[in-house]
Structure 1
Amino acid sequence: MRYLLFALSLCMTAFVPRSSPKKTNLTVEIQNVQPLKGTVFVALFPPGNEFPNGKPIDGKKVDAESATVRASFSVEPGTYAIAIFHDENSNGKMDKKMFGIPKEPYGFSNNFRPKMSAPKFSDCQFTVGNGGKTIQIALKKF
């Protein structure tokens, strides 16, 4: 009898529906968009995805039509980092000067400003809770 009850309890747990992780909203407010032409690219990174040059888990393209633009992501609560650049000439890439210095405006979460190298994930990380989050990032030219 014990074996029958045990087998039934295993069967019952196999049919319990599993809930998918609850998603919430992350809004990124990009400030200091100048000139008002081109496209702003926003890349969302989780920990460990070779920030900021690796492959983001999500990305948005926003027309540079006002000094402040917004991008929204549906994310699971957790830790993330954002990298942004303003493609002023709409060629689909970040134009660079000698030694890889960006020609076009860029920004990172926490408004981190790297000195001589690309930032680390830990420099730019932030946490999104169950209630969502809005962050502001100001673009800057080097």
Structure 2
Amino acid sequence: MFKILVATFAGLTLLTGCQSTSYTSVNDEVGLPTQLSITISNVRNTDGQLIVLVHDNSGDYHDDLNIHDPNANFYLKKVVTPSMPNTVVVFDNVPAGRYAINVIHDEDSDGGLDRMILPFTGMPSEPYALSNNIYDHFSKGDFDNALIEISAPKSKVDLRLATHLKKVVGM
């Protein structure tokens, strides 16, 4: 059993390691100040917290670190109390540009996305959402596919929470 877990972990590490990462911002210039409004739908309970992360580079996006980790860097971050069925989170003065947005419903308030041990080792067990509603069967999906354009003076983004298993089976 241990050998299966090690092989699964090694395979997942290899798959996620194949994606190109860089800690350089994809935005070459500082854009005009923008109000970014994110509506998070399908909030199923008010347990824990919603972690809303805005990324401007693939390195921080793919690091997937706990928000309490001293090595964690996010372009923007807010932690809010969830409200059902939708929660709206607003960031003011975001420079217009391209960003990837990641939302985690951290139901146990431990600061990160919990993952299954069995039966699907490594699969996220808490609901999450990514900009452009992307996901991949074996990882959170490519940064370039998650990029969206934020335009001045106001931009609105709609994200729908779901567990990874529900995303994979199309629920």
- CA gap of 1:97–1:70, structure 2 versus 1, over 3 A, is same
Looking at structure 1, the residues matched to 160 and 103 of structure 2 have their Cα atoms a distance apart, in angstroms, of 10
Matched letter for residue 60 of structure 1: K
Structure 2 partner of 1:71: 89
**Distance between the aligned counterparts of 1:141 and 1:129, measured in 2?**
29
TM-score, scaled to structure 2 = 0.66
Matched residues in 2 for 1:110 and 1:131: separation? 21
Q: What percent identity do the matched residue pairs reach?
A: 26
Any idea what SS the aligned residue of 2:149 has?
Answer: strand
Instruction: Give 1:51's match in structure 2, choosing from 61, 85, 108.
Output: 61
- Quick one: structure 1 residues 21 and 114, their matched pair in 2 at CA, closer, same or farther if it must change by over 3 Å? closer
Q: TM-score, normalised by structure 1?
A: 0.78
* Structure holding more strand per residue: 1
Q: Unpaired segments of 5 or more residues in structure 1?
A: 1-19
Q: Report the CA distance between 1:46 and its aligned residue.
A: 0.6
C-alpha offsets along residues 23-46 of structure 1, whole Å, 9 cap, x if unaligned? Answer: 111111111011222100000001
Which of the pair has more CA radius of gyration? Answer: 1
State which of 29, 32, 52 in structure 1 corresponds to 2:42: 32
| Change in 2 beyond 3 A, CA 1:52/1:70 | farther
- Number of residue pairs matched? 123
CA-based RMSD = 1.7
Which structure has greater helix proportion? 2
Cα separation, 2, equivalents of 1:66 and 1:48: 31
* CA displacement, residues 88-124 of structure 1 (integer Å, 9 cap, x when unaligned): 1222222111232111001100111222222111111
Inter-partner Cα distance in structure 2 for 1:53 and 1:68? 27
